[in-house]
Chain A
Amino acid sequence: MWLAAAGLAACAPRRPAGPVPTDLFAASSLREVLDAAVAAHHLGSGRTVRPTYAGSAQLARQIAQGAPADLFISADEVWMDWLDQRGLIEPSARRALASNRLVLIAPVSSSGASVDLTAPTTVAARLGEGRLAMAETAVPAGRYGQEALTRLNLWPAVEGRLAPADDVRAALALVARGEAPLGLVYSTDARVEPRVRVLATFPVASHPPIVYPAAPVRRPDGAGDPEGARAFLAFLAGAEGQGLFRRFGFAPAPV
């Protein structure tokens, strides 16, 4: 057994001989746009960025336990603040990269015109016997969604008819498969999935701004690649990066 362990250890990948890649931890709703940005950045500067996508809470907790991230992009301010409180990010380099909108979606095959979000009865009617799929209310996307539904007076009608999914992408999948007649997701997610159609966009005022803050992670002993983190962050905030965000449906960050 010791031989096996030694063997495995010997097989562990060594640090590549070339430039050290930058480790990026980012919220999963940014997957597509950041994949494109990583490619463009590499093309332009030759730098390699390694992205890891998951829920913001999970990533933040992992960073707090010493996960090797150089740059963190969260789906809301809450988790960035949480890391800041623990002194795990560079607050001076923190900036908001983009913002998002919430939309109400339905399976692409469903009939019916767009929905008037100010009329709770129409939403309930569209829901019928089914459930409204959205990220569970503990995660950022779910929190925004609940906030928006509450402010628009729709929450009482749908509260007992939710299908809270693991994350916003899972909710998207439920609607795409036709398991749920309605879903509440980011507008950027709706664009990615051809099997859903947007019924309505939630007014910006109905929820707290959906902002994506980014900050370099403070690593102990200067480990990792702070250089690369700042470089990529600059890229994302710059013209080319922002252009990509625009292309994928994200709105600019509120000033």
Chain B
Amino acid sequence: MFALSPEEQQIIGLSLKVAATATLFSLPPGVALAYLLSRAEFPGKALLSGLTHLPLILPPVVTGYALLLLFGRSGPLGRLLEPIGIVFAFDWTGAALAAAVMGFPLLVRAVRLSFDMVDPRIERAAETLGATPFVRFLTITLPLALPGVVAGAVLGFAKALGEFGATITFVASIPGETRTMPLAIYSLIQIPGGEAAALRLVLISVAVSIGALILSEWGARSVAQRAGGRR
């Protein structure tokens, strides 16, 4: 009963590949942006923060359509990237892009909170000991915030796994290429009698998501402990 059919394996495998890629590529810009929002003051900061949260509040289909307009084969960025071999349209990388965009606000939010919890006074102490800003970030800030970064990544991963609206609007539902779990589940519901198969995928989806959320929770608590200096 719980053996997965080759088709299911393919769908789950694709979903994990898409979500993992999305999360991995979101991390560097996400962490950088979160650090900036946490530590720096500059005009337009509120605007930047708002823009980052846009995918959270816009309907996913709208975000997907925006991606299509920008990165589609006839879109400005799509045409820019095509000569160097980067094509998102109808490709699993496009699904990863959609998932990354949708998960980005959650990632930035969680990581920013964990940076906020790192006492800037400790960073100043590191400065007096000869640490340049970059070294300070690597040896002090990041290690202290790391569990929170992990929590944010896991959150982004879970969101990427469940992404539907933006994905199907941007890269369609190509089996084996962009038909991730949510798209596959949706497709199964279109068929009378497809409920059983859909349910199986739903249960797997739920299990993975709950696992991810628990990990994220643990990570967030770890940051509080570490940054508070109690171990």
The A35-69 residues at the B interface (CB cut-off 8 A) are: 55, 57-58, 60-61
Could you say which residues of chain A place their CB within 8 Å of the CB of B168?
A: 165-166, 170
Known: A164-B173, A166-B168. A178 touches B191 (CB 8 A): no
Could you say which residues of chain B place their CB within 8 Å of the CB of A57?
A: 189-192
Q: Could you tell me if B192 and A82 are in contact, using CB atoms closer than 8 angstroms? A: yes
Q: How far is the CB of A177 from chain B (nearest CB, A)?
A: 6
Q: Could you tell me if B72 and A164 are in contact, using CB atoms closer than 8 angstroms? A: no
Q: Could you tell me if B73 and A138 are in contact, using CB atoms closer than 8 angstroms? A: no
Q: Could you tell me if A79 and B192 are in contact, using CB atoms closer than 8 angstroms? A: yes
Interface presence of A23 (CB below 8 A): no
Give 17 pairs: A residue, B residue, CB < 8 Å, sorted on A.
Answer: A57-B190, A58-B190, A60-B192, A78-B192, A82-B192, A131-B174, A136-B190, A138-B191, A163-B90, A163-B172, A164-B175, A165-B172, A166-B168, A177-B68, A177-B69, A178-B73, A179-B74
Contact with B along A121-145 (1 / 0, CB 8 A): 0000000001101001011000000
Could you say which residues of chain B place their CB within 8 Å of the CB of A130?
A: 73
Which B residues contact A (CB, under 8 angstroms)?
A: 68-69, 72-74, 89-90, 168-169, 171-175, 179, 187-192, 194
Known: A162-B174, A164-B174. A61 touches B189 (CB 8 A): yes
Could you say which residues of chain B place their CB within 8 Å of the CB of A163?
A: 90, 171-172, 174
Could you say which residues of chain B place their CB within 8 Å of the CB of A131?
A: 90, 172, 174
Could you say which residues of chain A place their CB within 8 Å of the CB of B192?
A: 57, 60, 78-79, 82
Could you say which residues of chain B place their CB within 8 Å of the CB of A61?
A: 189
Which A residues contact B (CB, under 8 angstroms)?
A: 55, 57-58, 60-61, 78-79, 82, 130-131, 133, 136, 138-139, 162-166, 170, 174, 177-179
Q: What CA separation (Å) do A174 and B90 show in the bound complex?
A: 11
Known: A57-B190, A138-B187. A164 touches B74 (CB 8 A): no
Q: What CA separation (Å) do A55 and B125 show in the bound complex?
A: 62
Q: What CA separation (Å) do A131 and B169 show in the bound complex?
A: 15
Q: Could you tell me if A136 and B72 are in contact, using CB atoms closer than 8 angstroms? A: no
Q: Could you tell me if B73 and A179 are in contact, using CB atoms closer than 8 angstroms? A: yes
Could you say which residues of chain B place their CB within 8 Å of the CB of A179?
A: 68, 72-74, 89-90
Q: Could you tell me if A174 and B189 are in contact, using CB atoms closer than 8 angstroms? A: no
Counting from the closest, the 8 A-B pairs by CB-CB distance are: A138-B190, A163-B172, A178-B74, A57-B190, A138-B187, A164-B173, A82-B192, A179-B72
Q: What CA separation (Å) do A82 and B190 show in the bound complex?
A: 12
* CB within 8 Å: A-B pair count: 61
Q: How far is the CB of A166 from chain B (nearest CB, A)?
A: 5
Could you say which residues of chain A place their CB within 8 Å of the CB of B90?
A: 131, 163, 179
Q: What CA separation (Å) do A233 and B192 show in the bound complex?
A: 25
Q: What CA separation (Å) do A174 and B72 show in the bound complex?
A: 9
Q: What CA separation (Å) do A55 and B192 show in the bound complex?
A: 13
Q: What CA separation (Å) do A164 and B168 show in the bound complex?
A: 9
Could you say which residues of chain B place their CB within 8 Å of the CB of A55?
A: 190
Q: What CA separation (Å) do A58 and B188 show in the bound complex?
A: 11
- Give the residue name and chain of the A residue nearest to B188 (CB): A138
Q: What CA separation (Å) do A82 and B189 show in the bound complex?
A: 13
Could you say which residues of chain A place their CB within 8 Å of the CB of B173?
A: 136, 164-166
Q: What CA separation (Å) do A40 and B173 show in the bound complex?
A: 38
Q: What CA separation (Å) do A164 and B189 show in the bound complex?
A: 15
Query: Which among B74, B192, B194 has the highest number of chain A CB atoms within 10 Å?
Result: B192
Could you say which residues of chain B place their CB within 8 Å of the CB of A58?
A: 189-190
- Give the residue name and chain of the A residue nearest to B194 (CB): A138
Could you say which residues of chain B place their CB within 8 Å of the CB of A174?
A: 172
Q: What CA separation (Å) do A166 and B188 show in the bound complex?
A: 12
- Give the residue name and chain of the A residue nearest to B172 (CB): A163
Could you say which residues of chain B place their CB within 8 Å of the CB of A60?
A: 192
Could you say which residues of chain A place their CB within 8 Å of the CB of B194?
A: 138
Could you say which residues of chain B place their CB within 8 Å of the CB of A165?
A: 168, 172-173
Known: A178-B73, A179-B68. A164 touches B172 (CB 8 A): yes
Known: A57-B191, A131-B172, A165-B168. 20 other contacts (CB 8 A): A55-B190, A57-B189, A57-B192, A58-B190, A60-B192, A61-B189, A130-B73, A133-B172, A138-B187, A138-B190, A163-B171, A163-B172, A164-B174, A165-B172, A165-B173, A166-B168, A170-B169, A179-B72, A179-B74, A179-B89
- Give the residue name and chain of the B residue nearest to A164 (CB): B173
Could you say which residues of chain A place their CB within 8 Å of the CB of B188?
A: 138
Could you say which residues of chain B place their CB within 8 Å of the CB of A162?
A: 172, 174
